[in-house]
Amino acid sequence: MTLLFTIAFFAMTAGCLILLRLSPMQLLTVLTKPFSNKKVKIKKKIQMSIKPRKLRGIKRIIKESRDILQATNKSDRFSSLCMLSFVLCIFGVLVASSMQNLFLMPVLAAGFAMLPFLYVLFSATKYKKQLNGTLETSLSIITTSYIRDENFLLAVQENIDYLNSPVREVFLKFLTQAELINSNIMPLLEEMKGSIDNAVFQEWIDAVILCQDDRNLKSTLLPIVGKLSDMRIVAGDLDYLMYEPFKEYLMMAALLIANIPLIHSQSLEWYHTLMYTPIGQITLTVSAIILFISLIAVIRNTRPIEYKR
């Protein structure tokens, strides 16, 4: 009966949105507008500028997902990701309603809504590995040409056709600006430094900037590029160990979920106690909370190895 009431509520809400010609995103924007326009005191602004507050929880996951989509030139997919999250949130509410578990309803709604963003964080591992490999090749050939010619702009021109995406787009923008807009490459190098979120690349750019004043420092470039090779070797050695916790999590999660039909097949009385009594419903809710928190922790621990300055 709870499931029917929940479906009727969502159907009524959808009907109202259709009559008012509103989308769920527009409704959410209207509801959050009074909170977003709230004035912040000057004292609080100063404190936030001196010591920025670190994002935590759901806000941090959403921000990291959005940053990854921007880095991979897929920012236009963020709205689709939010819509999918909204659909999964409703699905979680329906699943909890079908189980007649009110305690489980907010947990499944929030947990299912986070799944698309967690998938983006997990898939970013492949992108970062690809980026590190592309940076290693690109910086190596540009550094070799620069050491030979002692002209950074010429080194980029000679090798721009051999670079792969997304590094190619960054150096192509630098090359276009240097040829058509500003012949002074120092500010262009500073701008290019923030184009790729990689500590080794940023250190390499700093070294190139120093080389514009003292060309004897160009010998420091190859050791910096060598750090990318070291990262690739270490990541290859630890790749299995890094993904082992994720495999163990999948196994334990499958066993935990499989216990419900197993209890049903062994004893209907135990199954009724688990599904329809307050103690059993709270037990399922706590298990679901642990399941989602563990998933977030495992995804954070499976990120590729990165060099920190």
Q: Write b or e for each residue in 100-137: b if 16 or more Cβ atoms lie within 10 A of its Cβ, otherwise e.
A: ebeebbebbbebbbbbbbbebbbebeeebbebbebbbb
Q: Cβ(133)–Cβ(74) under 8 Å? A: no
Q: Cβ(85)–Cβ(114) under 8 Å? A: yes
In a domain, 211, yes or no: yes
Closest CA to 110 of 90, 138, 126: 90
Tokens for 126, please give them: 């492949």
Which of the residues in the chain have pLDDT under 50?
35-36
Q: What is the pLDDT of residue 14?
A: 65
Q: What is the pLDDT of residue 247?
A: 84
In a domain, 100, yes or no: no
In a domain, 156, yes or no: yes
In a domain, 184, yes or no: yes
Helix axes 278-301 and 104-149, enclosed angle (nearest 10): 0
Cα atoms found within 13 Å of the Cα of residue 39, Cβ hemisphere only: 3
Q: Rounded to 10 degrees, what is the CA torsion of 12, 18, 24, 30?
A: -100
Number of domains into which the chain is organized: 1
- Hey, CA dihedral for 117, 26, 22, 78, is it positive or negative? negative
In a domain, 195, yes or no: yes
Count CB neighbours of 282 within 10 A.
13
Q: Rounded to 10 degrees, what is the CA torsion of 292, 294, 298, 299?
A: 20
Q: pTM of the entire structure?
A: 0.68
Q: What is the pLDDT of residue 35?
A: 44
Q: What is the pLDDT of residue 24?
A: 60
Q: Cβ(128)–Cβ(306) under 8 Å? A: yes
In a domain, 293, yes or no: no
Instruction: Give the domain range for residue 166.
Output: 129-232
In a domain, 99, yes or no: no
In a domain, 194, yes or no: yes
Amino acid at 289: I
Residue corresponding to tokens 């420091």:
220
Q: What is the pLDDT of residue 80?
A: 82
Q: What is the pLDDT of residue 286?
A: 92
Q: Cβ(175)–Cβ(157) under 8 Å? A: yes
